[in-house]
Structure 1
């Protein structure tokens, strides 16, 4: 009886975790450059003293869907999208290099170029990009940033830096809890000269809202079934106890 109860209990718990993953995807359906997470479940044996005769369910995130979202034209000079493969290097909360495809760039109060989430964008030398006061800014296809300094004539242009663009060479990138992509060994990826930016565009999320909503509904039904199994296990245990009392 405990086998059924434990399996149903662990299944209900992991179903809730899977629902959280799909709910997170659905909540980010309109987030620029967001990459949806896969979710799956599998049976795992419980090892300990004696034979591994108990099995529990385990939900896991096997990976991230890295397919490209739709490019949306905005015309804003600080909006950039990567055409094809590649990532924009940014600084995470721990000061380490991480990667994103969210190209809704801004200039913060410290004149640093940051993403919409406030992450500092890394330059060609692997340090955050700081901009001088400017009247006009242009980001070329290779990430080079050119400005017309404040108060200068139209012909006075200055090249400030170049956005660091990289490629995942060996498939080692994974999504962290901060929503950014990280390398397994925390080593920065090298600059990739064949990654191209498109200024005035943003990449939409690759989340399929219909698929995610359908998955949430299916998981809800599975949760109800597992709760019913736990109730049945309890009723069977009570019935068995009554039979023993009659003997």
Structure 2
């Protein structure tokens, strides 16, 4: 079979992969702190005897993310927090420490500070943050947590810990199947005292819905073009076989 079919089929496969990535981005337009996923590909020359300099195939080069900050939305909720600029919140997962920009926090039945997925948020000492029973919580810009217990006087406010805010190099971060990020080397990132946050706000997804929709339409057209190439190649092969048969 002519190599053009393999080339076009490879291109179509890459388009389908990118369409899946864009569809996932569209599904997370409203997900707090979501980072747009990006599919990057590179051209690969088709080698053979003789060489085919006019034909190229494609291969997945890397799956990366757009780390640009999303829009900040004010909620007024005491447990809603957002990082300003670069940085991440640290959370505990069954697979170890992970990082997220989603700051819609809550207090679970064990009085632990957790994410909306129920993952404990970590303090600078690497432990979950325990909140006093029915206590009101406030956060400072560097992640320090103070709480006032139910019925306590304002003078009884207590310092209960500090959120572990990290800022590892973006190039060393990998996205897991759970949507959380981890350091590629598998190590826990060190707390960064330069990271700043604000309470009463959440960071929205950084996916641009209009751009994602345009990307989906463009991908659909690319896929149609690849299929047209395969169809034309098949038609040309049938015609060639017909001519050879008639001459025979």
TM-score (norm 1): 0.90
Number of residues of Structure 1 aligned to a counterpart in Structure 2: 245
Partner of 1:70: 71
Is it true that 1:141 corresponds to 2:141 in the alignment?
yes
Is it true that 1:188 corresponds to 2:188 in the alignment?
yes
Q: Is the 8 A contact 1:15 1:59 kept in 2?
A: no
Superposition map of 1:149-160 within 5 A: 149-160=149-160
CA gap of 1:52–1:82, structure 2 versus 1, over 3 A, is: farther
Q: Is the 8 A contact 1:18 1:59 kept in 2?
A: no
Partner of 1:86: 87
SS in 1 for 2:147: strand
CA gap of 1:198–1:176, structure 2 versus 1, over 3 A, is: same
The one-character-per-residue Cα deviations of 1:25-47 (angstroms, maximum 9, x if unpaired) are: 12211211111122233222467
CA separation in 1, counterparts of 2:140 and 2:134?
16
Partner of 2:177: 177
The one-character-per-residue Cα deviations of 1:176-211 (angstroms, maximum 9, x if unpaired) are: 222212111111111111111101011111111111
Deviation of 1:66 after TM superposition, in Å, equals 0.9
CA separation in 1, counterparts of 2:194 and 2:9?
50
Q: Is the 8 A contact 1:35 1:207 kept in 2?
A: yes
Is it true that 1:8 corresponds to 2:8 in the alignment?
yes
Is it true that 1:100 corresponds to 2:100 in the alignment?
yes
Deviation of 1:51 after TM superposition, in Å, equals 7.5
The one-character-per-residue Cα deviations of 1:153-187 (angstroms, maximum 9, x if unpaired) are: 33322222211001124741222222212111111
The one-character-per-residue Cα deviations of 1:36-64 (angstroms, maximum 9, x if unpaired) are: 122233222467x9777685322454421
Q: How much is the aligned-residue C-alpha RMSD, in angstroms?
A: 2.2
SS in 2 for 1:238: helix
CA separation in 2, counterparts of 1:107 and 1:52?
64
Q: Which moved more, 1:122-131 or 1:12-21?
A: 122-131
Deviation of 1:92 after TM superposition, in Å, equals 2.9
TM-score (norm 2): 0.90
Deviation of 1:90 after TM superposition, in Å, equals 1.1
Greater strand content = 2
Deviation of 1:103 after TM superposition, in Å, equals 0.5
Superposition map of 1:1-247 within 5 A: 1-45=1-45, 55-94=56-95, 96-169=96-169, 171-246=171-246, 247=248
CA separation in 1, counterparts of 2:51 and 2:180?
38
Question: Which 5+ residue runs of structure 1 have no aligned equivalent?
Answer: none
Q: Is the 8 A contact 1:17 1:59 kept in 2?
A: no
CA separation in 2, counterparts of 1:50 and 1:180?
46
Deviation of 1:222 after TM superposition, in Å, equals 0.5
CA gap of 1:89–1:50, structure 2 versus 1, over 3 A, is: farther
SS in 2 for 1:68: coil
